[in-house]
Amino acid sequence: MDSEQREKNGTILMQKYELGRLLGQGTFAKVYHARNIQNNQSVAIKVINKQKIFRNGLIDQIKREISVMHLVRHPNIVQLYEVMASKNKIYFAMEYVKGGELFAKVAKGKLKEDLARKYFQQLIGAVDFCHSRGVYHRDLKPENLLLDENGDLKITDFGLSALYEPKKNDGLLYTTCGTPAYVAPEVLNRNGYNGVKADIWSCGVILFVLLAGFLPFQDNNLIEMYRKISIAEFNCPRWFSPQTRKLITRILDPNPRTRVCISKIMENCWFKIGYQKIELPKSPVSNPTSDVQAVFDSSSSSPEEKTKETAINVKPSVFNAFDLISLSSGFDLSGLFEEDNCRRQHARFTTTKPASTIVSKLEEIAQAERKFKVLKKDGFVRLEGNETGRKGQLGIDAEIFEVTSTFHVVEVKKTAGDTFEYIEFRDQSLKPSLKDIVWAWQGGEQ
Query: Looking at the domain assignment, is residue 5 inside a domain?
Result: no
* CATH number for the domain that contains residue 35: 3.30.200.20
50 or 147: which carries more pLDDT confidence? 147
Quote the CA–CA distance of 181 and 214 in Å, as a whole number: 11
What's the rounded mean pLDDT across residues 175-198? 90
Helix residue ranges per DSSP H, 10-112: 50-55, 59-71, 102-106
Distance of CA 300 to the CA centre of its chain: 20
| Percent of the chain topping pLDDT 90 | 41
Q: Does 186 share its domain with 305?
A: no
Least confident of 66-70, 105-109, 389-393: 389-393
pLDDT at residue number 199: 97
Q: Does 126 share its domain with 174?
A: yes
The residue out of 43, 66, 95 marking a domain boundary is 95
Backbone torsions φ then ψ of 414, nearest 5 degrees:
-80, 130
The answer to whether the CB of 402 falls within 8 A of the CB of 314 is yes
Backbone torsions φ then ψ of 6, nearest 5 degrees:
-55, 130
Tell whether the torsion through CA atoms of 338, 290, 347 and 431 is positive or negative.
Answer: negative
- For residue 370, what pLDDT band results from cuts at 50, 70 and 90? low
Write out the E strands in 60-129.
80-85, 89-95
| Number of domains into which the chain is organized | 3
Q: Does 112 share its domain with 248?
A: yes
Query: Looking at the domain assignment, is residue 6 inside a domain?
Result: no
Least confident of 14-18, 164-168, 208-212, 222-226: 164-168
Q: Does 73 share its domain with 114?
A: no
Query: Looking at the domain assignment, is residue 304 inside a domain?
Result: yes
Distance of CA 64 to the CA centre of its chain: 3
Q: Tens digits of per-residue pLDDT, 329-341?
A: 444 434 433 444 5
pLDDT at residue number 174: 81
- For residue 7, what pLDDT band results from cuts at 50, 70 and 90? low
- DSSP-assigned beta bridge partners for residue 73: none
Q: Does 127 share its domain with 265?
A: yes
* CATH number for the domain that contains residue 113: 1.10.510.10
252 SS3 class:
coil
For 78, the domain range is 12-95
Q: Does 311 share its domain with 347?
A: yes
Distance of CA 257 to the CA centre of its chain: 27
pTM: 0.64
The pLDDT mean for the chain works out to 81
SS3 content of the chain, % helix, strand, coil (to 5): 35, 25, 40
What's the rounded mean pLDDT across residues 394-420? 82
At a CB cut-off of 8 Å and minimum separation 6, what does 212 contact?
110, 236, 237, 240
What's the longest Cα–Cα distance across the chain?
Answer: 83
Q: Does 127 share its domain with 183?
A: yes
The alpha carbons of the chain give a radius of gyration, in whole angstroms, of: 25
Q: Tens digits of per-residue pLDDT, 79-118?
A: 999 998 888 899 999 999 999 899 999 999 999 999 999 9
Query: Looking at the domain assignment, is residue 365 inside a domain?
Result: yes
134 Rama class: left (phi>0) / alpha (psi -120 to 50) / beta:
left
Quote the CA–CA distance of 406 and 416 in Å, as a whole number: 31
Query: Looking at the domain assignment, is residue 286 inside a domain?
Result: no
Quote the CA–CA distance of 277 and 121 in Å, as a whole number: 9
Q: Does 201 share its domain with 251?
A: yes
The residue out of 70, 95, 120 marking a domain boundary is 95
Q: Does 363 share its domain with 244?
A: no
Q: Does 129 share its domain with 253?
A: yes
pLDDT at residue number 235: 96
- For residue 20, what pLDDT band results from cuts at 50, 70 and 90? very high
* CATH number for the domain that contains residue 357: 3.30.310.80
Quote the CA–CA distance of 228 and 21 in Å, as a whole number: 41
Beta-strand relationship, 153-155 and 372-377:
unpaired
The answer to whether the CB of 64 falls within 8 A of the CB of 331 is yes
pLDDT at residue number 310: 30
Query: Looking at the domain assignment, is residue 361 inside a domain?
Result: yes
Which of 187, 166, 167, 165 shows the shortest CA–CA distance to 176? 187
Query: Looking at the domain assignment, is residue 400 inside a domain?
Result: yes
Q: Tens digits of per-residue pLDDT, 150-164?
A: 999 999 998 888 876
pLDDT at residue number 165: 58
pLDDT at residue number 300: 40
131 SS3 class:
helix
Tell whether the torsion through CA atoms of 276, 277, 283 and 289 is positive or negative.
Answer: positive
Q: Which helix (H) or strand (E) holds 237?
A: none
Q: Sort 342 into a burial class: Cβ within 10 Å, 0-12 / 13-18 / 19+.
A: exposed
Quote the CA–CA distance of 190 and 293 in Å, as a whole number: 37
Distance of CA 220 to the CA centre of its chain: 34
Q: Tens digits of per-residue pLDDT, 21-57?
A: 999 887 788 999 999 999 999 999 999 988 888 887 7
Q: Tens digits of per-residue pLDDT, 310-324?
A: 333 434 344 444 444
pLDDT at residue number 291: 38
* pLDDT of 373 higher than 60: yes
Residues with a known catalytic role: 139
The residue out of 73, 95, 117 marking a domain boundary is 95
Query: Looking at the domain assignment, is residue 316 inside a domain?
Result: yes
Q: Does 72 share its domain with 134?
A: no
- Binding residues for ATP, as ranges, are 46
Q: Does 84 share its domain with 111?
A: no
315 SS3 class:
strand
Tell whether the torsion through CA atoms of 139, 94, 406 and 446 is positive or negative.
Answer: positive
